[in-house]
Structure 1
Amino acid sequence: MAFRESILASFKHFLPIALGTAIFAFGVHYFVIPNELMEGGVTGVSLLLHYALGLPPSITTLVLNVPLFYLGWRSFGSKAMVYTIFGSLSVSFFLWVMEVMIGKGWLVPFITKQDYLLAALYAGFTIGLGLGIVFRFGGTTGGSDILAQLGNKWKGWSVGQMILLIDLIVIGTSLLYIPKEKILYSLVSVFIGSKMIDYITEGAHSAKAFTIITNEPEKISRMISEELDRGVTLFPAKGAFSQQAKEVVYCVVYRQQMSRLKELIRKTDPAAFIIIGEVHEVLGEGFKVH
């Protein structure tokens, strides 16, 4: 029974990762390669080899990732690398599928000679969407992700800074083969892709966290529960100047409920002190299931 549940849990990750890599491969072959745009990391190196030598990205991506698989396996263990290896193999597979479909004329890429901005925007959207799905379900596409994690483990370097540095080196090197105008369009694509990844991984339903310091905590808590159907937490506190004991009201609401909550607070206690913070994702009862 436990083994069966483990298999089902794995499929809940493998299937979305496969979907994400398919979208990623589509974006690379439909928007990026036909317009000679660039990407960062191992994908970018594969694109450089494709532009310079005509090598298929499906093969070069796999070949470049193999030694990184070994290093990652040795450093992080098999369990941590399972989804990364699956994601990387899936990327190579779907890149090959797209190459076959384009070669047989089943898929006609988007090619433009005037509006490269449109190609860059859609490239960033599709690649970011695909990678966002992969990352959200615990996978990666290997390459610079593994190098960044190794740098973090061995040297304590920031993962984000390592990925950015690798991407800048790869895209900078591409100036040897690609006009600088297309490099600038590629940077637009990378930026849009990063925002799309954040949107997918952090959740589409952004919320607001309210911290309310008030003399009417019970009334405000009851109104939040009854009017907005949101949970409330009360924290004991004490004013530093007055030395009076207070209760701080804390709750999280959807963005569209923010105006209504401020109105309720004003009606109940016009002197209440309100702190509103950004919340990118909420897991739990009343929001999204874990």
Structure 2
Amino acid sequence: MSTSKTWVQFKLILPILLGTALYAFGLLYFIIPNQLMEGGVTGITVLLNYAFNISPSLTTLVVNIPLFLVGLKILGGRQMIYTGVGIGALTLFLWLFEKMIHLGWIEPLHTENDLLLAALYAGVTLGAGLGIVFRWGGTTGGSDIIARILNRKYGWSMGRVLLGIDFIIIGISLVYIPKEKILYTLVAVFIASKVIDFIQEGAYSARAFMIISDHAPEIADLITRDMDRGVTLIPAIGAYSKQAKHVAYCVISRQEFRRLQTIVRSVDPRAFVIISDVHDVHGEGFKET
């Protein structure tokens, strides 16, 4: 493999290592010390630790190996390569943090009086870890492999499969964990999902405008001149009037929202305007690729 290809692979794998490290830390520092839960196959790891004091790193490896082999056979090596990296890295970091806690180098956060704080920080840490892993094309294995296989074989929705697995695992955990801690777990899961979305969609978000007007060229000229933003004019025909017109399309930052609205209304108060959120914008005037 050439040096350039090796560097590209390293740049893809490094964020997965960082993400799995964050996830492992959140699990051992916030979740397990406070007897909270986690969904998916990781939830099985947590349950076995509560019930039989089995090492999470050992359970993660043992549970994921057969799932990885089945996924490798059904899904193929190309799809599973970064999943393998994620499983290996998660196992390694769980083992490392377990050793650090055992040696007293890390003191986990254990609180009975402020479980909400533990749940919030757990959600942020786990969500940040998973968000980084997912953004760079990796997974931590487990239920994600199951969801991919069922999607490939039977066409089942991956989201519904993952949600179903989470419900089953968290439901079983009621045998070992008080109901109030399950409620705190749901807070952590909700926060984690929001952080995952935030990281995957990009920290920078903007607004996209589609402006349908008989005066679209004039509006586009004003936006270009007064806001220094590029505008694309798209030829269109009104379905009812059968008249040719233009649709002006542009992307702006959230801070410029009111300014653009003012420009549109000043030219054509009857303009039909569609506004939508866009994420992770690349190009001139936004993030450079």
- TM-score, normalised to structure 1's length? 0.96
Matched, 1:256 2:255: yes
Q: 2:215 matched to which residue of 1?
A: 216
Task: Give the alignment's Cα RMSD to 1 decimal.
Answer: 1.3
Post-superposition offset of 1:271 = 2.2
- 2:10, 2:225 → 1: CA distance? 40
Indicate the SS of the match to 1:211: strand
- Runs (4+) off by over 4 Å: none
Matched, 1:277 2:279: no
Counterpart code for 1:164 = L
Counterpart code for 2:128 = L
Indicate the SS of the match to 2:28: helix
Question: What does residue range 223-234 of structure 1 map to in structure 2 within 5 Å?
Answer: 223-234=222-233
- 2:146, 2:115 → 1: CA distance? 31
| Deviations 1:49-96 (CA, angstroms, capped at 9, x unpaired) | 000000010110011000011011111211211111101110111111
Question: What does residue range 138-217 of structure 1 map to in structure 2 within 5 Å?
Answer: 138-217=137-216
Q: 1:74 matched to which residue of 2?
A: 73
Aligned positions, number: 289
Indicate the SS of the match to 2:112: coil
Counterpart code for 1:76 = L
Q: 1:36 matched to which residue of 2?
A: 35
Question: What does residue range 100-139 of structure 1 map to in structure 2 within 5 Å?
Answer: 100-139=99-138
Post-superposition offset of 1:204 = 1.4
Matched, 1:18 2:14: no
- 1:289, 1:140 → 2: CA distance? 27
Counterpart code for 1:96 = W
- TM-score, normalised to structure 2's length? 0.96
- 1:165, 1:144 → 2: CA distance? 10
Post-superposition offset of 1:208 = 1.3
What stretches of structure 2 of length at least 5 have no aligned partner?
none
Indicate the SS of the match to 2:2: helix
Counterparts in 2 of 1:284 and 1:159: CA distance versus 1, 3 Å: farther
Between stretches 113-122 and 213-222, larger displacement belongs to 213-222
| Deviations 1:151-208 (CA, angstroms, capped at 9, x unpaired) | 1000100000000001111111111111111111111111110111000001111221
Of all paired residues, the percent bearing the same amino acid is 56
Q: 1:56 matched to which residue of 2?
A: 55
Counterparts in 2 of 1:41 and 1:276: CA distance versus 1, 3 Å: same
What stretches of structure 1 of length at least 5 have no aligned partner?
none
Q: 2:237 matched to which residue of 1?
A: 238
- 2:180, 2:111 → 1: CA distance? 14
Q: 1:265 matched to which residue of 2?
A: 264
- 2:218, 2:272 → 1: CA distance? 15
Post-superposition offset of 1:136 = 0.3
